[in-house]
Amino acid sequence: MSVETRVKRVTALQIAERKGGTPIVALTAYTAPLAALVDAHADLILVGDSLGMVIHGLPSTIGVTVEMMILHGQAVVRGSGRAMVVVDMPFGSYEESPEQAFRNAARVMGETGCGAVKLEGGSRMAPTIRFLTERGIPVMGHVGLTPQTTHTMGGFKTQGRDAESWPRHVQDAVDVAGAGAFAIVVEGVVEPLADRITETVAVPTIGIGASARCDGQILVLDDMLGLTGRVPRFVRRFADLGAQADRAIADYAAAVRERRFPGEDNVYR
């Protein structure tokens, strides 16, 4: 009787050990079919709260709920089998207290089966990250441009353009790493600042709008596939599936109106 060999998922410890090694490949995914595609190539899949805008048409990530993250997290875990799955903690689910963060993070992990959660914020979130990691919840940090706080940051502005702010951003990353985060997303900062952060912290940095010298990179899948509209400068379109889909839908509509679809091969006799 043969025994099926189960593929082991990438773990937080394995990601942490990639510091200074082969770059970590990370992408977002929000559905099972796309998670399956990403799983074949990525080390880490982030179920980002960007799903609020990409999937649900919200104007920002602020309206995303824990229930939404769990629903999409479950789909991504079901659709993948090898890559580590990290689920974003949405706005309002962890800022109040470490205890609130633990209750919601434990629920997210328990109901999705994901391998870790991600929290935004630097030094101010270090006590919460420590509280979670000491209780068995792996945490990925997120510093630099933090989308959940853009209302207080004055919008989606590149961070670190003034050298005077560099020590604060570096300290944010140092404190997050020191609190136990196994990796840190560094978003929307000038390249030399991203390099400084990467050189300073002992855990991997995963850049988005940062530097090629970060320990890994992440993009929103829909952005890099050309399924969204205008994108930031740091996004490279690796495909233009949006235009291909538009042509396919137009061809379908014309075929229906002209009664060319369904054809002989598409009906039952």
Question: How many percent of the chain have pLDDT more than 70?
Answer: 95
pLDDT of residue 230: 86
Q: What distance in Å separates the CA atoms of residue 253 and residue 201, rounded to the nearest whole number?
A: 54
Q: Which domain holds residue 61?
A: 12-238
pTM above 0.85, yes or no: yes
Please tell me the predicted confidence (pLDDT) of residue 2: 42
Contact 138, 9 (CB under 8 A): no
Tokens of 27: 């992408």
Do 128 and 58 lie in one domain? The reply is: yes
Q: What was the pLDDT predicted at 153?
A: 58
> Which amino acids are annotated as binding site for Mg(2+), given as ranges?
49, 88, 120
149 pLDDT tier (thresholds 50, 70, 90)? confident
Residues 233 and 252 in one domain: no
Angstrom distance (rounded) from CA 257 to CA 37: 33
Res 154: pLDDT: 58
Same domain, 169 and 263: no
From 95, 99, 134, 187, active-site residue: 187
Q: What is the pLDDT of residue 155?
A: 60
- The number of domains in the chain is 2
2 in any annotated domain: no
Catalytic residue flag (residue 187): yes
Q: Residues 151-174: what's their mean pLDDT?
A: 86
Binding site for 3-methyl-2-oxobutanoate, residues? 49-50, 88, 118
Q: Is residue 203 located within the same domain as residue 261?
A: no
